[in-house]
Amino acid sequence: MNNGDTAFVLICAALVFIMTPGLGFFYGGLGRRKNVINNIMAVTFIMGLGVVMWVAFGYSLSFSGNTRGIFGSFDDLFLLKTKLDDPSPYANSIPSLAFVAFQMMFALITPAIITGAAAGRMRFKALFLFIAFWSILVYYPLAHMVWGEDGLLGASGLGSIDFAGGNVVHISSGVSGLVLCLLLGKRQGYEHTSYRMHNVPFVALGMALLWFGWFGFNAGSALAANSLAAHAFMTTALATAAGLLSWMILDVLTRGKTTLISACTGVVVGLVAITPGAGFVPVWSALIIGLTAGPMCFLGITLIKKKLKIDDALDAFGCHGIGGIWGGLMTGFFSDPLINSAAKQGLIFGETKQFCAQVVAILTSIGVAAVGTLICCGLVRLFTVLRVSKRDELVGLDASQHGENAYPSFNGLD
């Protein structure tokens, strides 16, 4: 094992961890003032639940053993078989616990993304149960299918590639968010009142923490302090910058001026789109991926959310679902085995195998997320209703679900 690689992966794990509270600020700022505590708490509790579940059985179900290419096994519950000095079977230059820690942070941020779609109207008890069920029925299986040894969609199966979580993180959470918000229905007054974001600086702070942490998210997925990690770092930086600029241009074309909210949204879209291909595509292609992800997600939000009047409260599907799908397709278009031998030549080089594998993996991920979300909601309904009462929604979820008020002088109407 290598001390430098171990230190690098652990630092990257810490960077990925900071993304989860960063997402809390991002969502908290985008939401209504009367729901800011609930929006942040919806992300915060996952940092407790997700860690406990990951150590108890999540890692074992995702990365220990193999069950028909869909699940891992129960062989390593509570990490009882993971020894202190054992090298990871996924990267022999780092200890197993370093890999466990790094992947644990992905298991936190992924379900946290879903909470943005249900913001302002889901009972906290129902959300808590939903996240627990969803992690078991959707996240752990997808993590194994894409990244686990002998996984159905990975190198020894279909042959799809996903460097840091296009399918596992963004498509799964985005599609699940869309299904969940459809089941919940629209917020009261959704079609008749203008939406007011209560704290734009919170959004900018959340964006900064997300971008900062995302360098660990993508570069750390190389699982070593090497040239591939540096490559992923640079593709991440370039695609994100391009996404920011493309959304600013769209803002000028549609509104006549740029807004900070739009700039922050462009950053997130660029980050999402480059995630599956960060360690598989050339640096120059990251510019194209970032520039095109902006219009794709912009149109998706406009057409799907506004035209169809779907209340995806904080655009979880618009940014993560559509951005993840686009990024996965572009990975199959630009992938180059000279950068990473795990990839095959992409469509731009005249080969179709990798691109077709990406399409099948994306469709599979969409199906697993959609069906899994429906099952999870059915299970939750055995214990409690999904949605808060009309009165609790009007009062605000901060007061009705938590008995707290973020701002003592707040009159409860915004």
pLDDT band at 195 (very low <50, low <70, confident <90, very high): low
Model confidence pLDDT, tens digit, residues 72-91 = 999 999 999 998 889 999 99
Q: In angstroms, rounded to a whole number, what is the distance separating the alpha carbons of residues 79 and 99?
A: 12
Would 414 be classed as within a structural domain? no
pLDDT at 194 over 70: no
Would 72 be classed as within a structural domain? yes
Q: In angstroms, rounded to a whole number, what is the distance separating the alpha carbons of residues 177 and 313?
A: 10
Helices then strands, counting H and E runs in the chain, come out as: 16, 2
pLDDT at 229 over 90: yes
Q: Are 137 and 372 in contact (CB under 8 A)?
A: yes
Would 293 be classed as within a structural domain? yes
pLDDT at 192 over 60: no
Would 412 be classed as within a structural domain? no
| Packing angle of the helix pair 172-184, 322-334 (nearest 10 deg) | 160
Would 126 be classed as within a structural domain? yes
Helix (H, G, I), strand (E, B) or coil at 195: coil
Residue 312's pLDDT is 84
Backbone angles phi and psi of 96, in degrees to 5: -55, -40
The DSSP secondary structure of 197-214, one letter per residue, reads -S-HHHHHHHHHHHHHHH
Would 409 be classed as within a structural domain? no
Q: Are 16 and 109 in contact (CB under 8 A)?
A: yes
Model confidence pLDDT, tens digit, residues 308-353 = 778 888 889 999 999 999 999 999 999 999 999 999 999 999 999 9
For the chain, the domain total comes to: 1
Model confidence pLDDT, tens digit, residues 363-410 = 999 999 999 999 999 999 999 999 999 999 999 999 999 999 988 765
- pTM (predicted TM-score): 0.96
Would 411 be classed as within a structural domain? no
> Which residue range(s) make up the domain with 29?
3-402
pLDDT band at 183 (very low <50, low <70, confident <90, very high): very high
Kindly report the CATH number assigned to the domain that includes residue 267: 1.10.3430.10
